[in-house]
Amino acid sequence: MLEADYVIVGAGSAGCALAYRLSENGRYSVLGIEFGGTDAGPFIQMPGALSYPMNMKRYDWGFKSEPEPHLNGRRLATPRGKVIGGSSSINGMVYVRGHARDFDHWAESGATGWAHADVLPYFQRMESWDPNDHGGDPGWRGQTGPLHVTRGRRDNPLVTAFVEAGRQAGYETTEDYNGQKQEGFGPMEHTIHRGQRWSAANAYLKPALKRDNCRLFRAFARKVVIEKGRAVGVEIEQRGRINTIRARREVILAASSINTPKLLMLSGIGPADHLASLGIPVAANRAGVGQNLQDHLELYVQMASLQPVTLYKHWSALGKAWVGAQWLFSRSGPGATNQFESAAFIRSAAGIDYPDIQYHFLPLAVRYDGKIAAKEHGFQAHVGPMRSPSRGEITLRSSDPAVPPRIVFNYMSHPEDWEVFRKCIHLTREIFGQSAFTPFAGRELQPGEHMQSDAELDSFIADHAESAYHPCGTARIGDLSDPMAVVDPECRVIGVDGLRVADSSIFPRITNGNLNAPSIMVGEKAADHILGRDPLPPSNAEPWIHPHWRTEQR
């Protein structure tokens, strides 16, 4: 019989960390269930090939949103990793912890024990950061964890021009946005080690699988098996046969903010009316399952380059072949970085206490998925708001586990969304207009200088805003008395014994920046709760907040 002490569904960012920590002391057997396969090969392991795996059916679940009513009915791609490492194996490898205030907000909303003071020690435990190589803020960083965090060489003049332009525009600079001071322009960090993608699979899962007490089983998870109010296993399908993997102690769902609520609802945990309408027996009526869906939207503000210093010189078939060969033989060259080497976090207006806009700078004019590149040298800033008030939902289409869920983000459904997005465009144009870009900045490729009025910008936003691929929040953590909470502060599913959720589903509110880092942190912290350990001692570190935030935007 297939069984283990702990059964983890999903070998993604949090699931890999769970497998590593739960098997670490050798006392318990751990079995991970993952539908996806191997991460071997250059499409995943070469950082410069990042646009490929998220568009490959082999590695991506292929989810799409329903037609979004405020984005002209467009269906937006929602890539989720179907491979060991999960979305950490197909993402952009950008490493952002989130702002301290994000986690303080979690605690204030009912996630007791998840304030910044509580989670910072887990970020430090998971990191391998070399201050001698990268500088930064060593007092805030970890140096011995499994997850290597590094910085690119930043030798492209456009990359440094972006930071200098921000300074010229009056913004702060920061040497380490994952340290005390997130606000400002500075170097971007990534999960790359010696020229290779350092996914959660490379950092956590592969070392864990070398232990006798940790196994990975390739199968499709259909639902959690619940007996007398307790999760006792997971029903799986493999090569057309249905079986059950039993859990002697607990089942942990770490299947993504799309698949985790789907599995909960298929198991009878969710809004009772919705489950009843599909003929699913209700095991626990939790109205919050699938609700509170959040994401980051972004735009690409693109400029033509007056100098041939962009990545466009590698965009031909021959150029890509040269980049690939250089990486294969020496793990060096343009393929050894994700090319996101400068970043910024700024505030959109006075009266906002910490950044609500993020920038990724890229020395190429192209979409994130690698499609529709400009036919000339160009560069761009990915820019978007961090804390949209819009909320969506995940619901089931069918009680058949093989049917994908219905995904409605409800993007741009709040007037504030439009106001902040227009501000993003105006502020970006101002940055590209600084003297640091005078030698490089040609005409504006996108939106185009003719797009100036609110109505014109709103039209551009509706046509061109894209997901940053940061869905979260669909099984949120909260107080037991909160009817919309799905898990308690120790990640236990409310109303069912022996079942936890540990992935980005539990976020009460989306964090600043990319979600890989906080998702791994959730796996790290949840492991201590599952093992009954005392949490790591809280930190006394205080974040930098702009001293004049009440009256100044920068």
Tens digits of residue pLDDT in 28-61: 999 999 999 999 999 999 999 999 999 899 999 9
Cα–Cα distance for residue pair 150/376, rounded to 1 Å: 30
Task: Inform me whether the pLDDT recorded for 349 exceeds 80.
Answer: yes
Local structure of 524: helix, strand or coil: helix
Q: Which helix (H) or strand (E) holds 273?
A: helix 272-277
- For 540, the token pair is 């006394």
pLDDT at site 132: 85
Quick one: which of 6, 44, 2 has its CA closest to 201?
Answer: 44
pLDDT at site 135: 81
What separation in angstroms does the CA of 80 have from each of 77, 84, 257?
Answer: 10, 12, 9
Local structure of 452: helix, strand or coil: coil
Cα–Cα distance for residue pair 509/118, rounded to 1 Å: 17
102-114 mean pLDDT = 98
Quick one: which of 489, 472, 531 has its CA closest to 20?
Answer: 531
Quick one: which of 39, 95, 76 has its CA closest to 338?
Answer: 95
7-18 mean pLDDT = 98
pLDDT band with cut points at 50, 70 and 90 for residue 1: low
Give the domain 1-45+79-132+192-291+392-409+470-534 fold. FAD/NAD(P)-binding domain (3.50.50)
Domain extents in the chain: 1-45+79-132+192-291+392-409+470-534
pLDDT at site 276: 98
pLDDT band with cut points at 50, 70 and 90 for residue 175: very high
Task: Inform me whether the pLDDT recorded for 494 exceeds 80.
Answer: yes
Residue range 392-448, pLDDT digits in tens = 999 999 999 999 999 999 999 999 999 999 999 999 999 999 999 999 999 999 999
Cα–Cα distance for residue pair 454/426, rounded to 1 Å: 11
Task: Inform me whether the pLDDT recorded for 372 exceeds 80.
Answer: no
Q: How far is Cα of residue 23 from the mean position of the Cα atoms in its chain?
A: 25
Sign of the alpha-carbon dihedral angle for 369, 370, 374, 376: positive
- For 485, the token pair is 């909470």
- Residue with more model confidence, 384 or 133: 384
Interhelix angle 157-168/415-432, nearest 10 degrees: 110
Cα–Cα distance for residue pair 379/5, rounded to 1 Å: 51
Residue range 495-517, pLDDT digits in tens = 999 999 999 999 999 999 999 99
pLDDT at site 118: 98
User: Is there a contact between 128 and 108 (Cβ–Cβ < 8 Å)?
Assistant: no
pLDDT at site 232: 98
- For 498, the token pair is 């022996």
148 is catalytic: no
pLDDT at site 368: 65
pTM across the whole model: 0.97
The per-residue pLDDT of the chain, averaged, comes to 96
Local structure of 521: helix, strand or coil: helix
State yes or no: cis peptide before 447, omega within 30 of 0: yes
Rg of the chain taking only CA atoms, in angstroms? 23
Residue range 136-150, pLDDT digits in tens = 888 999 999 999 999
Tell me the residue type at 491: C
Task: Inform me whether the pLDDT recorded for 366 exceeds 90.
Answer: no
Quick one: which of 510, 513, 503, 520 has its CA closest to 127?
Answer: 520
| Catalytic choice (70, 314, 470, 546) | 470
65-72 mean pLDDT = 98
User: Is there a contact between 191 and 197 (Cβ–Cβ < 8 Å)?
Assistant: yes
pLDDT at site 406: 98
pLDDT band with cut points at 50, 70 and 90 for residue 375: confident
User: Is there a contact between 496 and 226 (Cβ–Cβ < 8 Å)?
Assistant: yes
pLDDT at site 274: 98
User: Is there a contact between 229 and 509 (Cβ–Cβ < 8 Å)?
Assistant: no
Residues near 466 by Cβ (< 8 Å), separated by ≥ 6? 76, 297, 298, 299, 300, 367, 368
Q: Which residues pair with 360 in a beta bridge?
A: 343, 382
Task: Inform me whether the pLDDT recorded for 369 exceeds 90.
Answer: no
Which region, left, alpha or beta, applies to residue 135 given φ > 0 means left and ψ of -120 to 50 means alpha? left
Q: Which helix (H) or strand (E) holds 261?
A: helix 256-266
What separation in angstroms does the CA of 18 have from each of 201, 318, 500, 524, 527?
Answer: 11, 42, 12, 6, 6
Q: Which of 7-11, 365-369, 433-437 has the lowest average pLDDT?
A: 365-369
Residue range 247-306, pLDDT digits in tens = 999 999 999 999 999 999 999 999 999 999 999 999 999 999 999 999 999 999 999 999
pLDDT band with cut points at 50, 70 and 90 for residue 519: very high
170-188 mean pLDDT = 98
Cα–Cα distance for residue pair 438/429, rounded to 1 Å: 13
pLDDT at site 367: 75
Cα–Cα distance for residue pair 518/200, rounded to 1 Å: 12
Q: Which of 114-118, 136-140, 220-224, 383-387 has the lowest average pLDDT?
A: 136-140
Residue whose tokens read 């920046």: 513
pLDDT at site 131: 87
Task: Inform me whether the pLDDT recorded for 128 exceeds 80.
Answer: yes
Q: Residue by residue, what is the 3-state secondary structure of 136-160?
A: CCHHHCCCCCCEECEECCCCCHHHH
pLDDT at site 133: 82
Task: Inform me whether the pLDDT recorded for 123 exceeds 90.
Answer: yes
Residue whose tokens read 């599909």: 278
Residue range 474-490, pLDDT digits in tens = 999 999 999 999 999 99
